[in-house]
Amino acid sequence: MDQVNLKKLAKELNLAVSTVSRALRDSHEISPQTKERVRELALKLGFQPNPHASSLRQNKSKTIAVIIPEIENNFFSQVINGIESVTPSKGYHVLIYLTHEDYNKERDILQLLRNGRVDGIMISVSNSTTNTDHIDAWRQAGIPLVLFDRTCEELDVPNIMTNDAEMAFKATEHLLKRGCKQIAFLGMAGNLSISNRRKAGYLSALEKYKVAAPPQIVELATKDYTNREILNELFRRQPRPDGVFAAIEKFAVNTYEVCKELNLHIPREVKVISFSNLQAAALFDPALSTIIQPAYDIGREAANILFKIIEKKMLMPYEKRMILPSQLMERASTAINSERL
């Protein structure tokens, strides 16, 4: 046995295991002198309590899980960064799980974690998730849970998101003010509340500005290949959209690709704006106008709220449904024809 544990410390110091444990946890019922002796030896031997023994006894893991659809996406990376900005100070560890936009994986992961491995989870649901029973079951089990970005607002759990509808409205309005008459909305297939919020914002802008052309809602998937085919068709059809509002970055990229293919000039023939957290959007040809989500803040706030729940503190009403504002960054892809950005 080369691992140093409480028993070894106790024997070395001629103390009981319980005394050593208490001393290290700074219990009031241990004399300062004893504490000092214990601490000194613990430091010298580099003692570190076995986390599994602690977790078993105390029934908490000091670990949370973050469940996201994908990781090759700046938004989720930034969220993780935000989460990680609070976890170390809480002495917590972060497990990452990827659903790859697969409902079954998502359900299985939640099932897998219902054994005390984590003290709570933060989840952004996959776009193939239509049934939320697995999440509701988790909620009912009383294990701390926070949803972010891809939320399920019908469930009574904290939801942290951005002002999707409002920004979708502004994005559409922006295109309209730039002269677009025929704006297409590129949204995620599925029935995510986030998609619906963005779609609603798009529709309400069209309505408010009494746009003659009917709304053009295109549902895309996560496969680039088919997306490009669909967009190719969209841009060949008459009337051709002169404005594109992409609900997610990938669709904007696909739009750029197809426009290049079809020799459609952005922004002269087609203006493009998109939700995106890509730093490099400013370097695109042309620079892409974006709606930037406060991803880092979403991660940080979601983590803070999760810890409040874990620590059994009361949540303020605004923490149960927190909305952090996005920012519209106007760039060349939505410039009016004469304009130079």
14 vs 131, which CB is nearer to DNA? 14
15 vs 305, which CB is nearer to DNA? 15
Q: Which does 253 bind (CB under 5 to 8 A by kind): DNA, its own copies, none?
A: its own copies
Q: Which does 18 bind (CB under 5 to 8 A by kind): DNA, its own copies, none?
A: DNA
149 vs 173, which CB is nearer to its own copies? 149
Cβ atoms of residues 139 and 155 within 8 Å: yes
Tell me the three state secondary structure of residue 141. Answer: coil
39 vs 170, which CB is nearer to its own copies? 39
> What's the min distance (Å) between Cβ of 89 and DNA?
19
Report the alpha-carbon distance of residue 330 to residue 327 in Å, rounded: 10
> What's the min distance (Å) between Cβ of 325 and its own copies?
21
> What's the min distance (Å) between Cβ of 220 and DNA?
44
Q: Which does 117 bind (CB under 5 to 8 A by kind): its own copies, DNA, none?
A: its own copies
Provide the token pair at 61: 């893991």
What is the contact surface with its own copies in residues (CB under 8 A)? Answer: 3, 48-53, 55-56, 61, 63, 70-74, 77-78, 80-81, 84, 93-98, 112, 114-117, 253, 256-257, 278-281, 283-287
> What's the min distance (Å) between Cβ of 270 and its own copies?
14
> What's the min distance (Å) between Cβ of 313 and DNA?
19
Task: Tell me the one-letter amino acid at 49.
Answer: P
* Separation in Å, CA 98 to CA 106, 123, 308, 316: 8, 10, 25, 30
Q: Where are the alpha helices (H) located in 85-241, listed in sequence order?
A: 103-112, 133-140, 164-177, 193-208, 224-236
Residues 6+ apart with CB under 8 A from 171: 201, 202, 245, 273, 291, 328
φ/ψ (deg, to 5) at 281: -60, -30
Tell me the three state secondary structure of residue 98. Answer: strand
What is the contact surface with DNA in residues (CB under 7 A)? Answer: 1, 3, 5-7, 14-19, 21-22, 24-25, 28-34, 47, 49-50, 53-54, 56-59
